[in-house]
Amino acid sequence: MTESASSSSSSSGGGGAQALPLSLYVHTPWCVSKCPYCDFNSHAADAPPFEPYVTHLLADLDLELGRPAARRPLSSVFIGGGTPSLFPGPAVRRLLDGIREHADLLPGIEITLEANPGTRDAARFADYREAGVNRLSIGAQSLSAARLRALGRIHGPDEVYEALRMAREAGFDTINLDMMFALPEQGLAGAKQDLEALIALEPEHISYYQLTLEPNTAFHAHPPPVPDPDLAADIAEQGLEDLARAGYRQYEVSAHARDGARCRHNLNYWEFGDYLGIGAGAHGKLTQERPERGGRQVSRTAKHRHPSAYLNASTDNLVGSTRILDEQDLIFEFALNALRLTGGFPRGLFTNTTGLPWSRISNIVRGAEHDGMVRILADRVEPTVQGRRFLDDLVARFAAES
């Protein structure tokens, strides 16, 4: 999805669901080992069944594209995980060739693949680029050997540097690097040194986000000595200043980009666009015009979560659950996504993506403005510094809408 397609089509006040951009998320559920902080749908495996999985993915895509609401060109593709860079080059080529064969793609489509910085994975970068991947997201997480060990990562700093070099040699000119902060026993000075080392690598995009101890993870069961909330907030503020000084503009809670390098796929999520999800545990969202119901119907689907359940299911029985969003769901989920954007959202985006009139949330927005959580600029609603700092509280106002 080109950034202009996301902004222009989804930001207009009128138009139907067909005006919304449509993205594709592909989930690869395997990794070499499970990190102690990870709550994603990922599973350690020595020899994943790459080819059968790609076959299932393409059958999954065919079923998704057969839904009337999915009859739109794809504007972005994101291959996430797990660790997609475990997949050999020929498997990724077969996947992308199949996507191109079965789906219409917008010109200049963004195709992202997540990668680990290990040397074995980096050796595949040239194959991925040749297959059509044009954006690489590398999970550095830290450039401190001690912090990487504390996170249970299986790579070291040198492998991050080497992976970036190999990515550039392979022809990638749009690269994201992930970095976490508020790591075990990390202070202000250590966090600053870590981030400055990452900035020096000059990626086009940086995802800078706080380590959180999520339920059902090893870190949640056995918490490491992470910074207290006040120190974590100071590290975050320091990081924002350093990133801005280096020319990275924050456009979402954890996303920072140089000019023209915002992640178009993720922007579609945050602007409440539509997306198909294929693969084990993948989620999708589709908006369909339903005149007989007086407007639109927005549905969410999830595929069978465990890789074995997904692979063992017949290709016409891959959906594990489907949910139709009611008005309150729509209001809350819109706010949950759109208020993550530092620039906020135009009023027309709410109506265009939910089918609901602005009056459904106007009182909430005015109350949030009164309390200093948002500002209203012409036709835009933008979270303030306070609103971004207490984003959970701001979003909760929309859950309490009556």
* DSSP labels, 239-291: HHHHHHHTTPEE-BSSEEE-TT---HHHHHHHTT-EEEEESTT-EEEEEEEEG
Domains of the chain with bracketed CATH: 3-268 (3.80.30.20), 341-402 (1.10.10.10)
pLDDT band at 157 (very low <50, low <70, confident <90, very high): very high
What does the pLDDT look like over 164-212, one tens digit per residue?
Answer: 999 999 999 999 999 999 999 999 999 999 999 999 999 999 999 999 9
State the pLDDT at residue 292: 62
126-131-132 Cα angle (round to 5): 105
Q: Which amino acid is at 144?
A: S
pLDDT exceeds cutoff 50 at 13: no
Query: Which secondary structure element, helix H or strand E, spans residue 13, and what is its range?
Result: none
Stretch 118-122: mean pLDDT: 82
pLDDT exceeds cutoff 60 at 401: no
**First vs last Cα of the chain: how many Å apart?**
35
Note the helical H segments in 20-151: 50-65, 89-102, 119-122, 125-131, 145-150
Q: Among 41-45, 70-74, 118-122, which is the least confidently predicted range?
A: 118-122
State the pLDDT at residue 112: 98
Closest by CA position to 183, among listed 140, 217, 150: 150
CA 347, 348, 350, 356 torsion-angle sign: positive
Q: Residue 64: phi, psi to the nearest 5?
A: -60, -45
The pair of structure tokens assigned to 248 is 């990275």
What does the pLDDT look like over 243-288, one tens digit per residue?
Answer: 999 999 999 999 999 999 999 999 999 999 999 999 999 999 999 9
pLDDT exceeds cutoff 70 at 4: no
pLDDT band at 294 (very low <50, low <70, confident <90, very high): low
What does the pLDDT look like over 311-362, one tens digit per residue?
Answer: 999 988 999 999 999 999 999 999 999 999 999 999 999 999 999 999 999 9
State the pLDDT at residue 314: 93
The pair of structure tokens assigned to 391 is 């984003």
What's 343's DSSP letter? T
pLDDT band at 153 (very low <50, low <70, confident <90, very high): very high
pLDDT exceeds cutoff 50 at 365: yes
- Measured CA to CA, the distance from residue 193 to residue 202 in angstroms comes to 15
Buried b / exposed e across 5-17, counting CB within 10 Å, b at 16+? bbbebbbeeeeeb
3 state DSSP class of 135: strand
What does the pLDDT look like over 63-108, one tens digit per residue?
Answer: 999 999 999 999 999 999 999 999 999 999 999 999 999 999 999 9
CB 85 within 8 A of CB 133: no
The pair of structure tokens assigned to 388 is 């971004």
* Percent of the chain whose pLDDT exceeds 70: 94
